Structure 1
Amino acid sequence: HFSMSDHGGPGVYISTPKVTETSADVNIDYHLKNDTGKPSKLQLTTLIRDKEAKVLTEKSTSLSLPAFTDTVVTIAINNIRDFELWSPNTPNVYYVENSLMESGVLLDHITQPMGFRWFSFDASNGFFINGENVKLMGANRHQDRVPYGNALSNDMHRQDMQLLKEMGANFLRNAHYPQAEEILRSADEMGFVVWEETPLVNEVTISEAHTENAMLMVKEMIKQHYNHPSIFIWAYMNEIYWAHRFKPEEELPARNAYTLELTQQLENLVREMDPYRYTAIAMHNYPLYDESGIGAIPMIAGWNLYHGWYYDEYKDFGIFMDEQRAKYPERIHMISEYGAGSDTRLYSEKPEKFDFTVEEQINFTRSLMTQILERPYIAGATLWNLIDFSSERRVDATPHLNNKGLVTADRKPKDVYYLVQALLSEEPISVLGYPFRDQWVHAAENPSDTLVPVNMYAFSNEPSLCLYVNNKLWEKSEVVNGMAEWRLLLPAGKHLLSLKPNDFGSAKQVQTTLIPYGLGSDHLDIAVNIGCHYAFIDDRTNLYWLPEREYTPGSFGIIGGKQLYISNKVGTKEDILSVHEEDPLYQTMRVNPSEFRADVPNGIYEIELLMVDYVRRYRRFADVDREINYEPGRRVFDISVNDERVIKELDPGGTYGLNVPNRLRFTRTVSNGEGISIKFHPVKGEPILSGVRIRKVRY
């Protein structure tokens, strides 16, 4: 029988050492076992069919296997003709049927995929397949999904691949581990170039067992997936110096030497097992990769880069890559990761680095993709990540979830998905933005301010788009780098936006709400996200928390203090305990505010104040706290409403603990035109405030 003990592989390994447009040579290595106690005379039949089951070629070979032996037999089938080439645009998969027979009796049978293609990477011009220069663009993929974890059905795997295909992608990085067989079957059939890798991530362990395990993972990956025509790159390492800066200084020489030695061993192993594909590692923005020379070992240098997200500015991405190109002109460069996070509840007209707004994810992706596409020496790039995926140690706007996905954890496309689609797809695409948003709230800034501003955009690969509001032409806008944009001023109410008149397929209904100047509304409900520049829309109730604003007479807003920034990033991005659905509200705050004032008319109002004492340092990957940490006396303050002390000596970090939210609620009757004045009186340290809600009530 065909071997079933070859690192999980099929026991049949197909290679195409020579392929041209008109002819091809195929070599097949058969790992055969005779477990019986007698010699066997066998007939080995190799048959290659196309997807319609038409036979392309067939070969039979007579074999003799001694008793109790493992044997490797290589069969060469040369000068095959009349086949169709495999490429991302024409993914013609063939199937090799392999049969072992003895005296006319079938003993074993296995079918494996294959494709006819030749390819190469060039340091100046990128990737070539079948003589055609193709830019490889796509995404990384983790395979977990809410609420199934990693236990996905084949249909779910195929759905992910379909999302990629419809986005216009032709490149997939399976990161950071080999994934379900269905992913590779789909990649073969849909036309994806695949980078597959083993889970050697962040750091090494200096031990023989570690070396053996790293080598074993490579053997298993290559043996199990060798025959898939979609695989072009074997990778075996990701950000291996990530933990380097946290290690004791005295460990570094031995650790660095071991890392280089292991990298070379893995590189040699991959090239020995598969001389026809390319090798790669993924590196991050850290000087040791250059200093150590590790980037020269693999055939492809992959880069995980986040300029303008974690560090630097967007433009620094292109500067960095051009410097790498100048230093190593013979090196093949790819971008193995780039991406920004977004919480589909956060929106801003003035997005900024690391704020997790929908708009910032768009701006980051739009800039870096444009830079990648205009540099032919960057052979390809994969966005991080196709999906929002589980990451237990992670903090940020959605703790325990890495939200850099193009789609949500339950596979709903975000705005950025449609942007990428507009930049990559060859099919016509025109889609209005904000798939998760349908409301805009505006607080009037003066008595004549009666319209609600709405910044609307659409994603398209057309030259220009027209926007219609309630089936009337608003304005024509040029499409630039995948987007057309409009500034609307709409009265309060419901409006139908579309890209064509009476086109309900592209239409989007939006609700605009005006908070009047003077705040004279029987249904007044003001919710303000203090300490930040973005709105938070609670997707459970549609409650709209406005971005913070400074107080102006006749309206409402904050007075005094400053917004909290840690490591040049707005807010704490910590896991706020017990309020999983409201983390962004508490993560941002104003430190040392003196007053929040709202010039409301007379009436009865419910007032809510949100605050949390925070961890002082920025923790990108925070271990889940096993118990609440307390810092008593760090900040103690009183709160008064209209000069009446309602809270005395509040100590959030001492009484409740760090990252534990405080939500204070009380009712006040406003009379004599006094409005509402909420003041913060420091006793020790500085007061803090994360949110204010003022709602008119009736009894």
Structure 2
Amino acid sequence: MKPISPRALRHRLIIGGAVWALAAGTALSAEETALVEGWRFVREDVQGAQAPRFDDAAWSSVVVPHTYNAADSGIGGAKARGEPEGVYYRGPAWYRLSLDHAPEPGKRYYLHFGGATLKADIFLNGRAIGTHEGGYAAFRYDVTDALRAGRNLLAVRVDNARNTRYAPLNGDFNIFGGLYREVKLIEAPDLHIDLLDHAGPGLHVRTASLADGQADIAARVLVKNDRRSSAQFEVVTRIIDADGATVAESRTPTTLEAGRGQAVEQTLRLAEPKLWEGRRSPYLYQVKTEILVDGQPIDSAQALLGVRTVGLNAQGQFTLNGQPYALYGANIQMPTRFGKGPIVTDAEIDEDMKIMADMGVTALRLAHMQHPPRVYEEADRLGILLTTEVPLIDDMDPSDHFRENLVQQMRELIAQTDNHPSVGLWGIGNELRTSGDAANRLLAALQSTAKALDPGRPTTYAHCCLDDDDSIAQHSDTVSYNRYFGWYWTEAKDIGPWADELHARMPNRPIGVSEYGAGASILHQEDPVMRRPVADGYWHPEQWQTSFHEVHWRELGARPYLWSNFIWLGFDFPSFKRNEGDRPAINDKGLVTEDRRTFKDAYYWYQANWSDVPMLHITSRRDVNKRIARVKVKVFSNQPQVRLRLNGGDWATVPVVDHAAVWDIDLASGENVVDAVTEVDGRELTDSVRWTYRTNP
């Protein structure tokens, strides 16, 4: 095994959305080595694999990030039909990496893991460094005393098997095992901003108050003195605007005893601040904190700042900067790509976020666990509000350890993402299928933890499968409901009366809809006569999903007392529990296919309703072989009218009513072309479809 040199791969540390760097000529701040190449891997449990002299020559060579389930997770099975659930490997695997190290006096060294599912045991030079339980948050260890000069051996045992000690225990998704996010070796000075703050950045900023043309910004800087003697230093924090100008500054002289840590609290006042106003204007400042010794910077951290407040008003509505702000959008499951699982690039995450932004969302629900840092960073930039939650999904274990593990995962989630202005609410769980003392104790612990760590943000819980007002739905500041009227039960239109009845019964409780959706295969087309599909069946026509969402948004959009409305879901994704639609092991309720190549018609329905960018889209474009001559042309648009023509004939002007224009036509035998056009500010938007009708098939 060829060792990797930390010096060869060093670059600036990006953490919590901030870049750690100092100006040229100053002392170094924390630096990182990305541990990417040179890993050896085996997908089995091996005795003694943590030992430096263990022979791993027969193991595979991999790069990290890496998952060991990329190729074996395409088999699905539906219990509802008596099938066994899909099978993919859930168990232990080992990673080993040899790296060179040249220690420097006055430095501390940390191993950073961006995510390892679900349990990771870390060994360095045969020494047990620590065990992390929970697959979706980052974690770190101080390995200064375990690192040697010269060759070092890092060994990691990862296990994605179900374990009642930690969450999640269940879920409608695959749990991809492995070191599926980055691994880094971080070097920091021995007087430094604390890197062991639940793997957070050690710098936390928030809008403490906002009124009368000014904002007070609270900064909390965690400093650790790992020197052998006390240290005198100054903590300097600046707020820098988008033009690079310093607009506020705070200086705090501090003395810290050897081996101690301290939180330095600072308040910075901004005059006439530019607000982070969601999609309308997501203005971002930068906060930079430095530790100065004798006037010279030795360590620094940065974070983006969006000046804004969030909350709830007396009507149960979500508020942004004190004003009601409607949250509507989609659920996003953990970002994956076919054949790669969760090994996605920043560019692929950016693509997902742009697709949702182009649809016109104001918010996204990140289901059902902490997502990669890039998701939060892009949401900040795009002005998309987020709900983000711990992986308490469906099932729980009544043990103290399980509860303590979820509390730990909540602490990690908040420490690692609370600087993001896009994070609007903390989610404490999803669809617990049981109530009772243990469930209530668990949710109470998660609620109290979130409020203690971040009292300024509301909490929420996604409820399903028990009575709407069950005790487990009463812990969070808000409650939202996963409701699938028109797919799993009754009719789509029933969601409106259900919401009205619930609101009347709980008028002072902020309620929302956290999931609603229907499956759709772009290979399945059925027009004009639609039959309601069987939810777990093989026939999921796209037109049913479109009609489902038309009805749902007309019902939900008319009820402003709902604090949230989230579609299930943005993108199709892998699920071993499913064997339905046009292929197994996929949840096809997405508005966009898993490969991101096809936007289903329902996507454009929401774009017509939500986006201010002029748009035009003819539906049923994949239903190319018509069965009858008399058909309806349906066009989604956010313009007042469209012009339509068939086979180059005369144009007909059709009004757009509630974002849809409908035109009856008679197809000719053979190929037919339908054109649509609308004028916007002197330019034309156009769309067309080709349909074939055969009189004698």
TM-score by length of 1: 0.68
Report deviation, 1:471.
3.2
Report deviation, 1:170.
0.7
Report what 1:82 is aligned to.
Answer: 272
Say which of 655, 666, 687 aligns to 1:478.
655
Distance 1:169 1:98 in 2: 34
Report what 1:37 is aligned to.
Answer: 228
Residues 52-72 of structure 1 deviation map (CA, whole Å, 9 limit, x = unaligned): 222221222211111111111
Distance 1:400 1:504 in 2: 42
- Is 1:304 the counterpart of 2:482? The answer is yes
Report deviation, 1:229.
0.6
Report deviation, 1:29.
1.3
Report deviation, 1:345.
1.2
Contact persistence 1:123–1:329 (CA under 8 A)? no
What amino acid sits opposite 1:286 in the alignment? L
RMSD value, Cα? 2.0
Contact persistence 1:279–1:300 (CA under 8 A)? yes
Distance 2:422 2:375 in 1: 10
Report what 1:382 is aligned to.
Answer: 566
Report what 1:395 is aligned to.
Answer: 579
Residues 287-339 of structure 1 deviation map (CA, whole Å, 9 limit, x = unaligned): 2x52x322221101111111111001122211211111111111011111111
Distance 1:509 1:59 in 2: 61
- Is 1:409 the counterpart of 2:588? The answer is no
Matches within 5 A, 1:48-59: 48-59=239-250
Say which of 351, 364, 374 aligns to 2:530.
351
1:342 aligned counterpart, secondary structure: coil
Contact persistence 1:122–1:332 (CA under 8 A)? no
Distance 1:163 1:123 in 2: 34
Report what 1:219 is aligned to.
Answer: 411
Report deviation, 1:492.
2.4
Contact persistence 2:208–2:218 (CA under 8 A)? yes
Report deviation, 1:386.
0.5
Distance 2:331 2:595 in 1: 17
* 115-124 vs 362-371, which moves further: 115-124
Report what 1:164 is aligned to.
Answer: 356
Distance 2:309 2:399 in 1: 39
Q: 1:286 to 1:351 in 2, by over 3 A?
A: farther
Say which of 196, 199, 203 aligns to 1:8.
199
Contact persistence 1:21–1:130 (CA under 8 A)? no
- Is 1:71 the counterpart of 2:262? The answer is yes
Distance 2:445 2:531 in 1: 43
Report what 2:310 is aligned to.
Answer: 119
Residues 204-249 of structure 1 deviation map (CA, whole Å, 9 limit, x = unaligned): 11112211111111000000001001111001200012xx4xxxxx
- Is 1:264 the counterpart of 2:444? The answer is yes
2:632 aligned counterpart, secondary structure: strand
Distance 1:342 1:323 in 2: 30
Report deviation, 1:509.
4.1
Distance 1:68 1:131 in 2: 43
Contact persistence 1:201–1:238 (CA under 8 A)? yes
Q: 1:327 to 1:509 in 2, by over 3 A?
A: closer
Distance 1:501 1:418 in 2: 16
Q: Which runs of 5+ in 1 are unaligned?
A: 245-254, 444-451, 520-699
Distance 1:510 1:326 in 2: 48
Residues 606-640 of structure 1 deviation map (CA, whole Å, 9 limit, x = unaligned): xxxxxxxxxxxxxxxxxxxxxxxxxxxxxxxxxxx
Contact persistence 2:444–2:475 (CA under 8 A)? yes
Say which of 262, 269, 290 aligns to 1:99.
290
Q: 1:151 to 1:110 in 2, by over 3 A?
A: same
- Is 1:464 the counterpart of 2:641? The answer is yes
2:643 aligned counterpart, secondary structure: strand
Report deviation, 1:181.
0.8
Report deviation, 1:515.
4.5
2:602 aligned counterpart, secondary structure: helix
* 21-30 vs 413-422, which moves further: 21-30
Report deviation, 1:276.
0.3
Contact persistence 2:349–2:375 (CA under 8 A)? yes
Contact persistence 1:406–1:414 (CA under 8 A)? yes
Report what 2:427 is aligned to.
Answer: 235
Distance 1:441 1:515 in 2: 10
Residues 439-480 of structure 1 deviation map (CA, whole Å, 9 limit, x = unaligned): 22437xxxxxxxx34432111112222212233335333323
- Is 1:151 the counterpart of 2:329? The answer is no
2:440 aligned counterpart, secondary structure: helix
Distance 1:316 1:430 in 2: 29
What amino acid sits opposite 2:220 in the alignment? D
Contact persistence 2:290–2:300 (CA under 8 A)? yes
Q: 1:338 to 1:39 in 2, by over 3 A?
A: same
- Is 1:328 the counterpart of 2:517? The answer is no
Report what 1:680 is aligned to.
Answer: none
Q: Which runs of 5+ in 2 are unaligned?
A: 1-191, 535-539
Q: 1:442 to 1:131 in 2, by over 3 A?
A: same
* 471-480 vs 137-146, which moves further: 471-480
What amino acid sits opposite 1:427 in the alignment? V
Distance 2:248 2:476 in 1: 36
Contact persistence 1:21–1:85 (CA under 8 A)? no
Distance 1:168 1:283 in 2: 26
Say which of 211, 216, 225 aligns to 1:20.
211
Q: 1:68 to 1:298 in 2, by over 3 A?
A: same
Look at both structures and tell me which one has the larger radius of gyration over its CA atoms: 1
Q: 1:435 to 1:515 in 2, by over 3 A?
A: closer
Report what 1:187 is aligned to.
Answer: 379
Residues 492-545 of structure 1 deviation map (CA, whole Å, 9 limit, x = unaligned): 2333322139999624241413151xx6xxxxxxxxxxxxxxxxxxxxxxxxxx
1:335 aligned counterpart, secondary structure: strand
Runs of 4 or more above 6 Å deviation: 501-505
What amino acid sits opposite 1:226 in the alignment? D
Q: 1:92 to 1:504 in 2, by over 3 A?
A: closer
Say which of 382, 391, 396 aligns to 1:204.
396
Report deviation, 1:432.
1.6
Report deviation, 1:106.
2.4
Say which of 349, 357, 361 aligns to 2:545.
361
Report what 2:183 is aligned to.
Answer: none
Report what 1:449 is aligned to.
Answer: none
1:306 aligned counterpart, secondary structure: coil
Distance 2:495 2:375 in 1: 31
Distance 2:667 2:265 in 1: 73
Q: Which has the higher contact order (CA 8 A, sep 6+)?
A: 2
* 406-415 vs 492-501, which moves further: 492-501
Report deviation, 1:413.
1.1
Report what 1:500 is aligned to.
Answer: 677
TM-score by length of 2: 0.68
What amino acid sits opposite 2:520 in the alignment? S
Distance 2:678 2:568 in 1: 37
Q: 1:395 to 1:92 in 2, by over 3 A?
A: same
What amino acid sits opposite 2:611 in the alignment? S
Residues 147-201 of structure 1 deviation map (CA, whole Å, 9 limit, x = unaligned): 3211111111111111111111110111001111111111111111110101110
Identity of aligned residues (%): 28
Say which of 427, 439, 464 aligns to 2:613.
427
Q: 1:490 to 1:49 in 2, by over 3 A?
A: same
Report what 1:523 is aligned to.
Answer: none
Give the aligned length.
Answer: 493
